A and B are shown apart, each in its own frame.
Chain A
Amino acid sequence: GDSVTQMEGPVTLSEEAFLTINCTYTATGYPSLFWYVQYPGEGLQLLLKATKADDKGSNKGFEATYRKETTSFHLEKGSVQVSDSAVYFCALSDLGANSKLTFGKGITLSVRP
């Protein structure tokens, strides 16, 4: 079945540091890939997505590239801010699976001033 593996957390960074959060996936089909973010006390919201190989999703300074050859979708940001402190979930949705999302475990990012 489909699965998503995220790097272990939590991650603590200083403001303006570079961020990479690793995500790899296993899917039987040709999935779309997503990063969702959950700010404290809130529901999840879409951060970015990519629907085919070599697509780059981007939003709020975050980027992730769909790498089919390495089955990866790593999230990066060049300079994190305190307001980026949240839980980040990598997810996939397989075509034909009724848009059901398969989530990774999530990783908590804390950014220090």
Chain B
Amino acid sequence: NAGVTQTPKFRILKIGQSMTLQCAQDMNHNYMYWYRQDPGMGLKLIYYSVGAGITDKGEVPNGYNVSRSTTEDFPLRLELAAPSQTSVYFCASSFGQGGEETQYFGPGTRLLVL
């Protein structure tokens, strides 16, 4: 099992550019999440999905979009990059709901917007 994979590892964007951060998991997990991690802060939830075709906003969704067409993939789209989106982005997945489920994290994508 590869677990949760993310691409790219690192990217520099100019203000106003767009890009898609890729996330895939091979554990057949229903739940998937996108977080951002800013220096000295905990992780903030951007969007999450409870299954293919179902997505919902997290704590900080502005400036991002997601889709979930398959169980395995959960891409995160930045439409008009802004310096405030400079961060490290983590994708995670879990098997189901219940509050006690362990989330499995990818290695992260470091994004710099200049």
Contact = CB atoms under 8 A, between A and B. Distances in A.
B97 interface: yes
Contacts of B105: 36, 43-45
Interface in B83-114: 90, 92, 94, 96-108
Q: How many of chain A's residues touch chain B, expressed as a range?
A: 20 to 34
B48 A43 contact: no
Interface residues of B, number: 29
Given A42-B107, A89-B42, A89-B43, A100 B58 contact: yes
Contact of B31 (A46, A91, A98, A104): A98
A103 interface: yes
A98 B42 contact: no
Interface of A: 4, 31-32, 34, 36, 41-46, 49, 51, 89, 91, 93-101, 103-106
Interface of B: 4, 31, 33, 40-45, 48, 50, 56, 58, 90, 92, 94, 96-108
Of all A-B residue pairs in the complex, the 5 with the closest CB atoms, nearest first, are A103-B42, A43-B105, A95-B99, A32-B100, A51-B100
